[in-house]
Amino acid sequence: MSRIRSLRRERKMSQKELGELLKVAQTTVSGWENHGKEPSYDILMKLATNFGVNMDYLLGRTDDPTPVGLAAPALVSDTSEDPRLASVDLSDLEDLTPEEADKVTTFARFVKSERSLKKEQK
């Protein structure tokens, strides 16, 4: 995960300092940066929050590091066309923290991805 290395270096942090911040060993940080190991979901959330980026950026799924913030509603099409979503009040998403919005977005992408996989298997 070279993005972790890049973000850490931009902030002039050592692997040891990042490890202390996340409460993991320096060797764990080294494993992420140099040996293809992946951090847990909780650690990814902490990294995204501390570096001010979104999780997809950390994972290399996008080149846009902008935190997700309130981008979650963009994943939902017009709810008025779908009776199952008619009761969804998107204004409820306005009070989410960036971390919570990131979780909502990640879950929505997971659901959409799962649906695509099911279609491919048919």
pLDDT digits (tens, 9 = 90+) for 44-74: 988 988 888 888 899 888 888 887 653 444 4
The reply to whether 19 falls in a domain is yes
The CATH number that applies at residue 37 is 1.10.260.40
Q: Mind listing the pLDDT tens digit for each residue in 95-120?
A: 777 777 777 777 777 777 777 777 77
Q: 116: which 2 tokens?
A: 């695509």
Considering the entire predicted model, what is its pTM?
0.56
Residue 52 shares a structural domain with residue 10: yes
Give the end of a domain, one of 58, 80, 104. Answer: 58
Q: Which stretches of 1-122 are DSSP H helices?
A: 2-10, 15-22, 26-34, 41-51, 55-58, 98-121
Q: Residue 80 above 60 pLDDT?
A: no
> Which range marks the domain in which residue 99 is found?
72-121
Measured CA to CA, the distance from residue 8 to residue 18 in angstroms comes to 7
Tell me the average pLDDT across 2-22. 92
- Do residues 53 and 77 share a domain? no
pLDDT higher for 77 or 81? Answer: 81
Tell whether 81 and 109 lie within a shared domain: yes
Please give the tally of structural domains in the chain: 2
Residues 38 and 8 occupy one common structural domain: yes
Q: 69 — alpha (psi -120 to 50), left (phi > 0) or beta?
A: left
